[in-house]
Amino acid sequence: MNTCILTTGAPKRIGFISTRFRGTDGVTLEARKWAHILRGMGHSCFWMAGELDAPPEVSLHAPLAFFNHPEVADVQAKLFGVAFRTRAVTNQIQSLKERLKDDLYRFIEKHQLEVLIPENILAIPMHVPLGLAMTEVIAETTVPVIAHHHDFAWERERFTLNAVNDYLQAAFPPMLYAMEHVVINSMAQKELARRYGIPSQIIPNILDFETPPPGLDDYNRDLRSEIGLKEDDWFILQPTRVVQRKGIEHAIELVRRLKDPRAKLVISHAAGDEGNAYMAMLNDRITEASIEVRFIADRVSETRGMNSQGKKVYTLADVYPHADLVTYPSHYEGFGNAFLEAIYFGKPVMVNLYAVYARDIDPLGFKTIEMTQLVTKSIVEQTREILQNPALRADWAETNYELGLKYFSYRVARRKLAARLANLFGEGV
């Protein structure tokens, strides 16, 4: 395949900034993809965060930027779920902001940055002092900015009652000179315009559809047996964290209603940071349903290796080739990385029609099993058909991969990022 490499004049030195660039959270993954694309266009990329796995020569580690830093967690706990803050809390916020501004100036000066890409820190107020610091540094330096927004405060109930509405209006997000705003779905685009009068462009989450997915090899071929599945079992994969909005109870109900001993649900990730009540409820559902569920978070990591028990650890790219079906019954998603991963690996998907999927993805023509909050008889019959019909699975896989290449590939983001840089620097693409 011939690839057109888009450029925007002279190569730029681009700094990514967030609370964390480490692990497999959505913001980190998408930032890495953008950096890969930008480097391919000739630019240089640098990193600043409170948790960081980038080499020191291309980064600045700023511990205070992490949302779970003790000082940050202390002040954040006083800002939400209450309507007022004291002068002392305001002083706390301002003190943290000033120290974070020092870190941001050091980052810009150390790497002689020409473009800044704040990743989500000007959208969701997980770290109010960092958002304020970022906003003031942008205003003071006029370094051009592409603000990449994944989640907004209005999308999360826990931010509804707060004592910092003045700060939310000022910095989440701000509207400043030489600043491009990028969102990941059309609902966010419309709400940002309606609430703040801020125009934005959509760059959806992406995957490298230009590169065929990896398959089975000598390392991952034994994954089924390692997690206690037989070759003829139906490997039904739930590739998400165990948090309430993922709707995993629907996947359990689907497996129960299949009424086939071959159907085994495999959950690849651990519980999130939202308490233990949801996991306890799922365990009750599993017991009542009398189905087999494998929780394999201790066997899945970013890289291959061995865990503390001396057992092999696999990556998600090792897990997907074994799956016969992917369940994605989320109640809410900002976009849907697991959906893209499933179609990238050619797997059929049972997906709940959450709002962003219904508006931005479903109209594109993907072939899926679609549910609307209920696992109906029709859903069960469609699932059984796709599990028993290899030709149908192959047809779906081919159609879905072509659509992924058309709408959610790196070349889509490459074109849109080139346009954002061209807008900032007035240089032809």
pLDDT of residue 3: 47
Alpha helix stretches (DSSP H) within 112-261: 128-141, 165-171, 186-196, 223-226, 248-258
Q: Give the separation between CA 407 and CA 103, rounded to whole angstroms.
A: 37
**Intra-chain end-to-end CA distance of the chain, in Å:** 21
Per-residue model confidence as pLDDT tens digits over 60-70: 999 999 999 99
pLDDT range class, residue 251, cuts 50, 70, 90: very high
**Is residue 269 over pLDDT 50?**
yes
Q: What is the pLDDT of residue 25?
A: 82
- Distance in angstroms (rounded) separating the CA atoms of residues 219 and 86: 57
Q: Where in the chain are the domains?
A: 13-206+410-424, 223-407
> What's the pLDDT tens digit per position in 179-227?
999 999 999 999 999 999 999 999 999 999 999 999 999 999 999 999 9
CB neighbourhood size of 7 (10 A): 15
Determine the length of the chain.
429
Task: Tell me the percentage of the chain whose pLDDT exceeds 90.
Answer: 88
- Residue 419 predicted with pLDDT over 60: yes
Predicted pLDDT of residue 398: 97
Q: What angle do CA 172, 178, 180 make, to 5 degrees?
A: 55
- Integer CA distances (angstroms), 72 to 93, 105, 118, 235, in order: 9, 20, 18, 42
| E strand or H helix that includes residue 146 | strand 145-149
Helix ranges (H only) for 152-222 are 165-171, 186-196
Joined together, the tokens standing for residue 336 give 């849907």
Contact of 123 with 173, CB cutoff 8 Å: yes
**Nearest residue to 271 via CA among 249, 251, 295:** 295
Assigned CATH topology for domain 13-206+410-424: Rossmann fold (3.40.50)
**Residues 246/371, Cβ–Cβ less than 8 Å:** no
Whether the pLDDT of residue 426 is over 60: the answer is: yes
Q: What are the E-state strand segments in 152-284? A: 179-183, 201-202, 234-238, 263-267
13-206+410-424 and 223-407: same fold? yes
Q: Stretch 362-385: mean pLDDT, rounded? A: 96
Q: What is the average per-residue pLDDT within 56-62? A: 97
Helix, strand, coil distribution of the chain in percent, nearest 5: 45, 15, 40
> For residue 147, with 0-12 CB atoms within 10 Å meaning exposed, 13-18 middle and 19 or more buried, which class applies?
buried
Average the pLDDT over 80-91 and give the result.
97
- pLDDT at position 359 is 95
pLDDT of residue 428: 53
* pLDDT over threshold 50, residue 425: yes
Q: How many CA atoms lie within 13 A of 405 on its CB side?
A: 15
Higher-confidence position of 428 and 387? 387
CA distance linking residue 339 with residue 33, whole number of Å: 17
* 223-407 CATH: 3.40.50.2000
